[in-house]
Each structure stands twice: as structure tokens, then as C-alpha cells.
Amino acid sequence: MRILSGIQPTGLPHLGNYFGMMKPAIELQQKGEALYFIADLHALTTVRDPEALRRNSREIAIDFLACGLDPARACLFRQSDITCIPELSWILSTVTPMGLLERCHSYKDKLAKGLHASLGLFSYPVLMAADILAYDSDLVPVGKDQKQHLEVTRDIAVKINELYGDIFKLPEPMIRDESAAIPGTDGAKMSKSYGNTIELFMEDSPLKKKVMAIQTDSTPVESPKPLDGSPILGIYRHVASSSDYTAMEEAFRTGGTGYGDFKKRLLEGVRDYFAPMRAERQRIASDPGEVERILSNGAEKATAFATPVMDRLRKAIGLR
């Protein structure tokens, strides 16, 4: 089974990225051939600072490795290092109906958030299809908001197969568990676009500042605290042991503890959970050459997977 997943380098990874995408992806490396790419071509629709794009791409690679990605088991690479991807995206675009893309809700959502209505933003699902189809992917972990894009990928693959024969494998979605969603500091879903994130490897002082600034209600210290929608509990349940989490829930119910004390427990939980990964990250970051070697080797492996796919496609459509 070949598994494919990607992450955009639009900023430094946060707790929501880790528990929602990175941790599940790392666990999947035990279950098949895993390919994980840093989607720097996709990021061009929003990132205009070249140094930031390069820096973020490298930092995400380091974070993935620090969090447990094993380059001996999984293939980690930059999307832009696979030179056939733009070519494949163009070929797919020649058979993709405009109406199919016009129905994609992601484009409309991004316009509503104020993003520039570029061709790249509109054709994003076609580039995503190229990323998936290039490697004969079997399984693609996606969130509910990306499920439509995988359906578009399958529609495009079917169109190519109807026109030219059995070229592409049809990938299956693996819908991520939405219960893993992490609340941000304001209680909404943690997202860079909302400005409510807690980055994975923040220095201690800014980490403390972020945690202590988590929004809470005005319930008095002596009173029971509401459990539903609490960002403190929502984050703590991911970083604490089951017994520690149960103890915090009970303290919420009984009252007598202020939000400041709960935030201190949460801060300690985040520190302890990521302490081993932080140490590993410092080790990895001290050797930039090793990080680049891993990314280059990953690109070679990914290219080897993509080459037979592109060969049969080019031959079928008349380019070779």
C-alpha cells in the first residue's frame, strides 16, 4: 500500500498541524510505503517572500524528522524537486472540465477570506491531483475539507483512463479523525489564518505567553467551570496522560481552581510532551547538510515512483 500526504510551508507547524496531520502520518509509515511532501508549489498561491518559503520548507522538514518520521521507512521530499509534477498538472488540466473546478468549495472559501483570485488558486485541485496520481498512490489521508479535492482527482483520473486506457490508479481517501482537531487560543479551530496557533517548538517565554493568554470565561475561582468548548481541556487531552486529564476534568467540575492554575498545568503538559522531540530537533537542526541529504534522497525515491507513471502517460497521449 502506497500512502501519500503533504503539508504546505505557509508558516511554522503548530499543535493543530501535529495532532491533525503530522502525528497520524508518522504512524502510517509503519503500514506501507509512505510519501510525504512539502507542498512548496501550492504555497506560492499565498507566500510571496522567497526567503520565508525556503526557510519554512526546511523548518517543516526538521520538525517532521524530530517528531519521528523515519527516512528509512518514509520518503520526505519537496514538491518542487519532482520536475514532472508541473508537466503532469498541465496534462491533467487539458481534460479537466471547468465546471468541475467551479464547484470546488475551497476556492470560494479562500476568496471569501480575501485571497487573490489567481489561476493558481482556481486550479489548485489539478495540481493536487498531479501530486496524488504521479506516484500510483493507494491511500490519501485528508480532512473533510479536502475530501472534495480527492473526488476531483478520481474524476480526472477516470477521464484520462477513459480516453487513453488504464493509466492511473484510483486512490482511496482516508478521512482524518475530526476529534483530533485542536482548539486555538481563542477556542476556534487552531489555524494560521485565525492567528490563534501555538507553534510546536516555541521558546519557553513565548510559549508561556501564548498559553497564559488562552481565552476563558469569567467563572469565579470557587465555581465549577464549563467543560464544553474549553480550549484548555481541548489541548490538554492531547498532551496529558489519561489520569492527569481526568483529574483536570474533575477539578473543572468541582470548582475551587482558577483558570490561571489550569493554564499552568497545560503549559507543563505541552512542555513535557514535546521535550524529547525538542531535544531531537536541536540535534537535527545542527546538521543542515543531513537535512538536505534526506530531502534529496526523498526526491530521488519519489521520482523513481513517478517515472513509470509518466512514461506510460506520455506514450499513451502521444508525447513519446
In the predicted model, what is the mean pLDDT of residues 142-155? Answer: 87
Residues involved in catalysis:
110, 189, 192
What residue ranges do the domains of the chain occupy? Answer: 2-181+288-317, 201-282
Question: Model confidence over 257-304: pLDDT tens digits?
Answer: 999 999 999 999 999 999 999 999 999 999 999 999 999 999 999 999
CATH domain 2-181+288-317 topology? Rossmann fold (3.40.50)
**Alpha carbons 21 and 177: distance in angstroms, whole number:** 10
What pTM was estimated for this model as a whole?
0.91
Report percent pLDDT > 70 for the chain. Answer: 99
CATH domain 201-282 topology? Tyrosyl-Transfer RNA Synthetase (1.10.240)
In the predicted model, what is the mean pLDDT of residues 94-113? Answer: 86
**Alpha carbons 296 and 303: distance in angstroms, whole number:** 11
| Residues with Cβ within 8 Å of residue 13, at least 6 apart in sequence | 7, 22, 59, 60, 63, 199, 200
Sheet hosting strand 2-7, strand order edge to edge: 74-78, 33-38, 2-7, 139-142, 172-175
